[in-house]
Amino acid sequence: VVIIDIFRASTAICAALHNGVEKIIPVTTIEEALAFKGKGFILASERQGMVIDGFDMGNSPQAFLNPDLIGKTIVFTTTNGTDAISAAREAKKIWIGSFINLSAIAEALIELNEETILLCAGWNNKFNLEDTVFAGALVSRVSSYLDCKSCDAAMTAEILYHSAEKDLLGFLYQSCHYNRLKHLHLEEDMEFSTHIDLAKVIPVFENGIIRAYQNS
């Protein structure tokens, strides 16, 4: 399963591990996260697009590039992203995908050559544009190598991506979540989230922890 929450959890996780964060502990509730407070962890959270009181940071992806975070462990809870990870917990492998590690994920999927679900986190259990456009980008990178034709959702996501690719950020201006975050003045986060291939890292979730995947 590839977990996709472009604005902004999956982009933030990729940025963090790219920066050299040692590991990320995703938790579902704010209470679970706060239980880690004062024990040497960095606490990151987001609810309805905003940072929660008592946390060290929100989920602006650029903030995870801070050199102070190198080697640290981050406890992370977001509205949709950590729920998606939780939903996928029975999967054999759980990776985190974003535009910033698009090629790395695509190449690893081709090499792995196994049945894969692209799990779009969406927003409050609804379909959203940006996660599906990313899923389409991933399909477009792997469809010459893997069978994507037996799934209408994958084909449709790819068609959507081809409508978007010439001006990805401009295309995503239409998205409801873009507009929701724009009202919170988070345009920079969204611009960052549409940069392709800034990172080579693949975050993998295993035994409750997200780390950089060690490709054998």
CB of 160 to a second copy, least distance (A): 6
Give dist(CA 7, CA 80) in Å, integer: 10
CB of 188 to a second copy, least distance (A): 22
Q: 118 and 146 in contact (C-beta within 8 Å)?
A: no
Structure tokens belonging to residue 95: 């990776």
What three-state secondary structure class fits 143?
coil
Residue 152 contacts a second copy per CB under 8 A = yes
Give dist(CA 36, CA 117) in Å, integer: 31
Residues pairing with 120 in the sheet: 4
Residue 150 contacts a second copy per CB under 8 A = yes
* Nearer Cβ to a second copy (79/175): 175
Q: Which of 17, 129, 139, 146 forms a contact with a second copy (CB under 8 A)?
A: 129
Sort 124 into a burial class: Cβ within 10 Å, 0-12 / 13-18 / 19+: exposed
* Nearer Cβ to a second copy (55/178): 178
Residue 176 contacts a second copy per CB under 8 A = yes
Q: Which of 1, 42, 160, 168 forms a contact with a second copy (CB under 8 A)?
A: 160
CB of 122 to a second copy, least distance (A): 8
Structure tokens belonging to residue 9: 């959890």
Q: 169 and 124 in contact (C-beta within 8 Å)?
A: no
Element (H, E) at 131: helix 129-142
CB of 216 to a second copy, least distance (A): 33
Structure tokens belonging to residue 61: 């992806």
CB of 95 to a second copy, least distance (A): 22
Q: Per-residue x/- marks for a second copy, 53-72, CB under 8 A?
A: --------------------
- Which residues in this chain contact a second copy in the complex, by CB under 8 A? 123, 126-129, 132, 149-153, 155-156, 159-160, 163, 174-177
